[in-house]
Structure 1
Amino acid sequence: MKKIYQTTNAPAPLGPYNQAISVNGILYASGQIAINPKTGDVVTNNIVDETHQVMKNIHAILLEAGATFENVIKASIFITNMDDFAEINKVYASYFNEDTAPARECVQVAKLPKNVNIEISIIAHL
């Protein structure tokens, strides 16, 4: 059975989708960008702050589903500038235990919603 997850502690969807859905104990979270859910402002002052905001949004969705970053089994990272990879990776790594970090890919894309520089989606087990 499909279960929908929504929290006001992460940005509301920008289109016809949900923040996350679980099926058979697997949580699929939609891509998160650096929108501050309290103000609606997009955080793009620098890639470090932007990445932290994305990870905070993911954390809020995980908490809503009763999970943590330890439950994440796959992450997909989309960035507009591969030159930002080292800084993004440092922030990203601070949210995971290196020994149990999820599988992931990081790809450069031409453009992201609201002209942000990073978007991350995750899959987690519940």
Structure 2
Amino acid sequence: MTDYVNDPTLPAPPFPGSHMVLDDCYVFVSGLTASDIQEGENAIGDIKEETRRVMRELERMLALVETSFADVLRVDIHLADLGDIGEMDSVYAEFFENDRYPARTCTESPRLSGGSGVEITLMATRPDRSR
């Protein structure tokens, strides 16, 4: 069974989509930027703080569906300026155990929502719910 979930603590998506889509095995989380998070706009312009806020929000969203960063299989990151990858990586790496990083793509996308510098989307496994 597939569930389409909008997080009530976030503004409704400004596009025809859902914050999260859940099936029996996976959770798919739509791209998230600092401008999507309440008071996240305060971080825009500081790539480290934007990344930290987005990762914390993703962590909270995963916990809502009983998953965590340990369950993340794939991450897609879009940076407004690929030159910020080192600073973004320094924060991103803090959220994963050493040598247990998910598969990842990082691209430059110069026009991110709300003027943000980073957008992150992910896919994670869900716990075995048959028990």
| Same fold (TM > 0.5) | yes
Question: Aligned partner of 2:83: which letter?
Answer: D
Match of 2:51 in 1: 51
Q: Which amino acid aligns with 1:122?
A: L
2:66 partner letter: G
Aligned residues: CA RMSD = 1.8
State the SS of the aligned residue for 2:124. strand
Q: Give the AA of the match of 2:76.
A: S
TM-score of the two chains, using structure 1 as the length reference:
0.89
Contact between 2:47 and 2:84, CA under 8 Å: does it hold in 1? yes
- Are the structure 2 counterparts of residues 45 and 79 from structure 1 closer, same or farther at C-alpha, using a change threshold of 3 Å? closer
Sequence identity percentage: 26
Counterpart of 2:90? 90
Whether the aligned pair in 2 keeps the contact of 1:73 and 1:125 (CA below 8 Å) is: yes
Task: Output aligned runs, 1:54-93, within 5 Å.
Answer: 54-93=54-93
1:57 Cα deviation from its structure 2 partner: 1.6
Decide whether aligned partners of structure 1 residues 86 and 68 sit closer, same or farther in structure 2, where only a CA change above 3 A counts.
same
CA distance in 2, matches of 1:40, 1:83: 22
Task: Give the aligned length.
Answer: 126
Cα distance change, pair 80–45 in 1 and its aligned pair in 2 (3 A)? closer
Unaligned runs of 5+ in 1: none
The TM-score, its normalising length taken from structure 2, stands at 0.86
- How far residue 42 of structure 1 moved from its aligned partner, in angstroms, is 5.2
